[in-house]
Chains A and B, each alone.
Chain A
Amino acid sequence: QQPVQSPQAVILREGEDAVINCSSSKALYSVHWYRQKHGEAPVFLMILLKGGEQKGHEKISASFNEKKQQSSLYLTASQLSYSGTYFCGTERGAGNMLTFGGGTRLMVKP
């Protein structure tokens, strides 16, 4: 079952913050985050395993609330290079297939 992402789109000015949410109705083993720039392939950002850990990648971090089966991606002090579509992918067990959400289109303006 496909995870649900929100919002579907967000427009920011450089330096502003954003949060992208991903939720599932099923118990999850892990949540992955990918970013896809226009005309390119999705690129892996980070993976969060069940346990509620938080991870960071430069000024992009994420959390995973195992009880709520929700993950959030935090983008702080956004840069123009952050523009793209962000996808969360969920796994229900180790080595299971990865199911992607519908994506969140992020546009950062100068």
Chain B
Amino acid sequence: DAGVIQSPRHEVTEMGQEVTLRCKPISGHNSLFWYRQTMMRGLELLIYFNNNVPIDDSGMPEDRFSAKMPNASFSTLKIQPSEPRDSAVYFCASSLAPANVLTFGAGSRLTVL
């Protein structure tokens, strides 16, 4: 298996632009998680899906953030409009619930200027 695949690996954009991050989970996994990592706040859970359904999105910072999982093999995290404080590494992880042993993707490093 190729593992969890994220794209893009690096994104540099200007404030106000829309950013879309993509994730392909491990085939057969039924839970998908989006985390954000910064030096100040560590690893924060933004949202997680189970069987493509959003279960908990309480970690999503504000309405500028949205996430979708249209099918079992694809998820997106969108930021619109982006702000400099959104700069972080965004990780996608998947697992086979209920044993939430997470396999993380390589991450998408976002820089908003």
Find the B residue at minimum CB distance from A93: B98
CA distance A95 to B56 in the complex (A): 12
Q: DSSP majority for the B interface?
A: strand
Report whether A44 and B101 are in contact in the complex, using a CB–CB cutoff of 8 Å: yes
Q: Is B45 an interface residue (CB 8 A)?
A: yes
Q: Is B15 an interface residue (CB 8 A)?
A: no
By a CB distance below 8 angstroms, the chain A residues around B104 are: 41-43
Q: Is B113 an interface residue (CB 8 A)?
A: no
Report whether B107 and A98 are in contact in the complex, using a CB–CB cutoff of 8 Å: no
Report whether A100 and B101 are in contact in the complex, using a CB–CB cutoff of 8 Å: no
Proximity string of chain B (8-52) to chain A, C-beta cutoff 8 Å, 1 when within and 0 when not: 000000000000000000000001010100000011010010100
Report whether B33 and A44 are in contact in the complex, using a CB–CB cutoff of 8 Å: no
Q: DSSP majority for the A interface?
A: loop
Report whether B56 and A41 are in contact in the complex, using a CB–CB cutoff of 8 Å: no
| Interface size of B as a range | 20 to 34
By a CB distance below 8 angstroms, the chain B residues around A47 are: 99, 101
The A33-50 residues at the B interface (CB cut-off 8 A) are 34, 40-44, 47
4 tightest A-B contacts by CB?
A: A95-B98, A41-B104, A100-B43, A94-B98
Q: List 30 A-B contacts (CB under 8 A).
A: A2-B42, A34-B102, A40-B106, A41-B91, A41-B104, A41-B105, A42-B91, A42-B104, A44-B101, A44-B102, A44-B103, A47-B99, A47-B101, A87-B42, A91-B100, A94-B98, A95-B31, A95-B98, A97-B33, A97-B48, A97-B100, A98-B45, A98-B100, A98-B102, A99-B45, A100-B42, A100-B45, A102-B42, A103-B42, A103-B43
